[in-house]
Amino acid sequence: MHRELIQPSQPLSRFVSQLWYFQNEPTPHSKERLMPDGSASVVINLADDVIRLYDPDDTRKMRRLGRSVFSGPRTECMAIDTDEQVCVIGISFRPGGAAPFLKLPTDEVCNVSLDLDDLWGHLAEELRDRVLSAPSPFAKLRAVEAALLQRAAGLWDEQPVVKYAVSNILKAPQDARIAEVVHATGFTSRRFIALFKRHVGMAPKLFCRVRRFQRVLQEITRGKPVSWADIALDCGYFD
């Protein structure tokens, strides 16, 4: 197995948490559910011309997409087949970070996966060609970085209010009080929620619930005995 991760340089690092490359031998077919984290991503299949997504409730149901797929921020899980992840490269956006690369409101692609060329046109196919021709995994990741800079074209649509709100929620989703965040911004509640949804893809309270759930997942995967009562209290669940 070969795995390589890089964090892009500024200004991309404000919007992209990491670029990643993964190569592995085929494994027995096993469906894996990917839990929502409120962030968007891009996956490019370098070994096949199709990416299949499965219904997490009934994995006999499947959608075929192209070789490059954009997945918007999610509030529900999705399912993949690990046998198909032979050689893939991808982009993990920060919460709210996909906005400059979409050229449309992020809430329009919440819980949506679609062919990247529907969003990026010919740049999506050009990107895959550049990645395939790059001589090393590191060079492939740099090709993705260059394509992101090209797509943004210098128009960095960063909103300080949204960045402040996301930062507060990520810091302690179990304690976040949306009303207090709104008050600190000086915006009306209605204007703040509209701006947050446009950039993050979902309402702030829903994003907070998703991040609280991610906190639970982090706690139960530490390899320690699980006390559900303690986890519920620590992560802000009370009923």
Q: What is the pLDDT of residue 237?
A: 73
Q: What is the pLDDT of residue 28?
A: 67
* Entry pTM: 0.90
List the structure tokens of 87: 């050689």
Residues 141 and 31 reside in one and the same domain: yes
Q: What is the CA radius of gyration of the chain?
A: 19
Residues 124 and 212 reside in one and the same domain: no
Domain that residue 191 falls in: 160-234
Domain annotation covers residue 57 = yes
Residues 101 and 119 reside in one and the same domain: yes
Distance CA 209, CA 38 (A): 10
* Domain boundary pick from 152, 170, 189: 152
Phi and psi at 186, nearest 5°, equal 80, 0
Distance CA 141, CA 143 (A): 5
Tally Cβ neighbours within 10 Å of residue 104: 10
Burial 42-58 (b: 16+ CB within 10 A, else e): bbbbbeeeebebbebee
Query: pLDDT tens, 112-134?
Result: 999 999 999 999 999 999 999 99
* Domain boundary pick from 152, 168, 192: 152
- Tell me the three state secondary structure of residue 174: coil
Per the structure, the count of domains in the chain is: 2
Bridge partners of 93, per DSSP, are: 16
Residues 63 and 179 reside in one and the same domain: no
Q: What is the pLDDT of residue 111?
A: 96
Query: pLDDT tens, 29-73?
Result: 678 889 999 999 999 999 999 999 999 888 889 999 999 999 999
29 CB-side CA count, 13 A:
4
* Domain boundary pick from 133, 152, 171: 152
Does the pLDDT of residue 231 top 80, yes or no? no
- Local structure of residue 8 (DSSP, 8 states): P
